[in-house]
Amino acid sequence: MLARPLSPLGLLADIESGRTSAAAILRACGDTIAEAEPIVGAFEHLDFDGAIARSHDAAGPLRGLAVGVKDVFDTADMPTSYGTQIYAGHHPVSDAAVVSMVRRAGGVVLGKTVTTELAFFEPGRTRNPANPGHTPGGSSSGSAAAVAAGMVPFAIGSQTGGSVIRPAAYCGVAGYKPSFRILPTVGLKAFAWSLDTVGLFAPTVADVAFFAAAITGRSLEVTAKETAAPRIAVVRTHLWHEATGEMRAAIDTVERLATAAGASVVSVDLPGIFSEAFAAHQVIQDHQAAMALAYEMDNHRDLLSPLLRDTLDYGRSISVEDYDTARRTVRHARLALRDALGDADVIVTPSATGAAPEGLASTGSSIFNRLWTLMGVPAVNVPGLHAASGLPLGIQVVGHHGRDGKTLAVANWLEGVLKAKS
């Protein structure tokens, strides 16, 4: 792996004790970027001088630590191109709401991270720090890779299908997709407004929970939470046949280790409404995308990738009747999820089909993420397992809607179980 992830909580303790300063940490981040960025390609834009200047006045729980911001979020002091030539050189006049939240919490925006084209499938130039010959995932590829390579302690991304959890899994870091609407999407370039969810990256679950608590003011930290063994429902979903042998074995390992650590673990088969909801995701996403990106299609069609053009054409062909039917299916599935989970605290399921695929032409598959995005429930990628190749394998912890603190706490517990075994 190129470089190593930082320890944000350790860095904050060092700042608090006076052993270092935010400016010194930023300079160290700059050294790492100088070494790794030519290979990883995580950043679209960097502002070292501005970041160091802002770090001297930073107040709040983040204490001037660096944050990478996915280049689909508006920033008033940096260009925002949304991953497309259409917006090359575009300078928004204001920050996205979540960027302002980061600044108010004392975070310093070091740069804009690479995204796929308009947060869809066309890959950017980012490579996986664990192995540059493999994809880092999409569409929050730059954010996940920047954290994994130790370029920044924290980063912001977004997820419409699997664009936080999957790149976190491929790059071997913690990714947190909150319950829908906990983090504002104001100032985010929309793709599908009822699915787009702001997400966060950090090296470990404890780090990402702290980051979330710092910017939201919610009690999401996990270090002081109850660590009693949880109730876990292992859900393989109707797509289990798409998981690689190593991913199937990883879930079996988690089931065994969690049971040995005292957790109550049951295997749950979801009823058919959830396979119907999975199919509804594409209908809703593509229909909304055709409206959200109407300007780009009508005025800059030739600058869009063929895949995105085809997707938007398809989305425009979806009837409002089919769209509304898909929405009703989702409502029924959300109600059914509570019954399906029973008294389980969380679901454990794959973060991806397996380790990051070789090659950079594709960002991998989001099939193990779309349903949970659609349900609007919190999801966390738990790092710690690896394939035989050495590439990370991610485990996804999914919680009840609005119970993000519990979900993060269980994910942190599970990360500890995996670390104790390794």
Distance CA 252, CA 385 (A): 12
Bridging pattern class, strands 174-177 and 197-202: antiparallel
CA 105 → CA 38, 58, 98, 236, 250, distances in Å? 31, 8, 11, 38, 37
**Cα–Cα distance measured from residue 293 to residue 241, given in angstroms and rounded to the nearest whole number:** 34
Query: Is-catalytic flag, 17?
Result: no
Q: Parallel, antiparallel, or unpaired for β 231-235 and 264-268?
A: parallel
User: Nearest CA to 172 among 215, 212, 201, 209?
Assistant: 201
Active-site pick, 70, 112, 177, 225: 70
Q: Which of 140, 141, 163, 179 is catalytic?
A: 163
**CA-CA distance, 338 to 68, in Å (whole number)?**
35
Angle, alpha carbons 14-385-253 (nearest 5°): 130
CA-to-CA dists, residue 189 to 50, 92, 95, angstroms: 24, 11, 12
| Beta strand residue intervals within 144-211, DSSP E | 154-159, 174-177, 197-202
Q: Give catalytic status of residue 70 as yes or no.
A: yes
Residue 364, helix vs strand vs coil: coil
From the candidates 139, 140, 179, 366, give the one annotated as an active-site residue: 139
- The b-or-e profile of 22-36 (16+ CB within 10 A means b, else e) is bbebbeebbebbeeb
Q: Is 351 noted as a catalytic residue in this protein? A: no
Instruction: Supply φ then ψ for residue 20, to 5 degrees.
Output: -155, 180
Q: Which residues are catalytic?
A: 70, 139, 163
